[in-house]
Amino acid sequence: MNGPPTKKPPEIIYVTEFHGRKLAVAKDAHNWIVIRCKSDEDPLASDRRWYFSDPAAMLKAVHKYLIKERIKRLDFMGMAQIVEESYKDVEKLAQRLAEKIAVKAG
């Protein structure tokens, strides 16, 4: 007799590191998952996760989080640089999402 089916782990599609932290975005069968952990940790082992069904809402939340975390270290960089770096991370993530959605549609 076979046991219950094993759950497939989420697929990590994007990772960014900053100030000793890692932010990863993964996709499972139903959700987009934003995972926060230390730079030396495996994101899939972390329990600090946010789940989204809407990719646009997930992108907004990631952008807000990145700006907030970088503002905490404002003494290291200027405000314009914080916004620019956060925007670039979200832009890269959005490109990855578009590629992933195109592959599934095609």
Instruction: Please state the domain extents for the chain.
Output: 11-105
* Rounded Cα distance, 29 and 53, in Å: 10
Confidence of residue 101 (pLDDT cuts 50, 70, 90): confident
pLDDT tens per residue, range 19-60: 788 999 999 989 999 999 988 888 888 889 999 999 999 999
pTM for the full predicted model: 0.71
First-last CA distance in the chain: 38
| Under 8 Å between Cβ of 25 and 93 | yes
- Residue that the structure tokens 């700006």 belong to: 67
76-88 b/e (C-beta count within 10 Å ≥ 16 → b): eeeeeebeebbee
